[in-house]
Amino acid sequence: MAAADADIIEGLRGAGLIDDGEVVLEPLTGGVSCDVWKVATPSGPIVVKRPLPQLRVAAEWLAPVERGISEVRWLRRARGVDPRLAPEVLAELADYSFAMRFLPGCPVWKDELMAGRVDAAFAAQVGQGIAAIHAATAHNETDRAAFPNDAMFRALRVDPFLLYVAQHDAALAPALTALADDLTSRKIALVHGDVSPKNILVSTGGPVFLDAECAVYGDPAFDLAFCTTHLLLKAVWSGEARLGDAAAALVAAYRAGIDWEGADDLLLRAGQLTAALLLARVEGKSPAPYLTDPDHKNIVRDQARALIGAPQPIDTLVAHWKRT
């Protein structure tokens, strides 16, 4: 057993979550930024998560492991808004790891979408949940002070998604650099930073949000754009019109929850960010792994480049998105 794994087990024992018997750390797959295990305990299964200093992608992508602290704070803050929105954190462990309650019978939303099970009503619940957290934390100095994570957000989101592309695309560099500057300058609400279908569980009570490693007090338009981007990419990959409908439902439900600023301003910023993120998932440090068909990449690339040059509000962008 590796020393780090032994530290995890020791920490779980210290927190009273496991006894002195044999402990098995069952690896869970899917993450590029952390190690994740499922652990059987006397009171039921739990999940342990440990952030990695080097992400599992082709390009070098380093990130501070202290982001584990931010994730715990986000999960607890989200549960304060609505306990259904995030799993319960059970203990903080060594090396910025933590343990949280395992939620059985809750499929990952990405798996549902990739299998063709598209539910626009659930997508609307996702939009409602994101908006609820933004509304509860908007213009809140306590929340702002609790998430001073600008450097971490830059390392995990701004540099690899916006500036990496800018460095390799001279024509779009001015627009992408300006967008990055605007994104990092806005301090409006608590942002999850990775609202992706792979980080959302489908529970009977609605969406459960995971993996808030990128949490920062910043521009809420980013969360809306990030999730919408994934739905639009999958619409191209599958050719499935219902994914466009799901994206529209998500955006409409989110818009209905905006009460901290003008909706039109936020939706335009979200549209600008969506265009940049779409391009980044083809040309950035973290390309969408399922988007392997060159024709699909060109569909995304051509639309994204045009939208960066002529921005549209995110609801308009979604309505006009072409899958083929």
Q: What percent of the chain has pLDDT over 70?
A: 91
- Predicted confidence at residue 259, as pLDDT, reads 98
Q: What is the model's pLDDT at position 123?
A: 98
Lowest mean pLDDT among 17-21, 27-31, 254-258: 27-31
Cα distance between residue 178 and residue 37, in whole Å: 40
Digit-coded pLDDT (tens) for 197-229: 999 999 999 999 998 988 999 999 999 999 999
pLDDT digits (tens, 9 = 90+) for 147-171: 989 988 998 899 999 999 999 999 9
pTM: 0.89
pLDDT tens for 303-319 read 999 999 999 999 999 99
Give the DSSP letter of residue 115: T
* Euclidean distance between CA atoms 32 and 187, whole angstroms: 28
Question: What's the average model confidence in pLDDT over 174-179?
Answer: 98
For the chain, percent helix, then strand, then coil, each to nearest 5? 55, 10, 35
The pLDDT-based confidence of 66 (bands split at 50, 70, 90) is low
The structural domains of the chain, ordered by start, are 3-101 (3.30.200.20), 109-320 (3.90.1200.10)
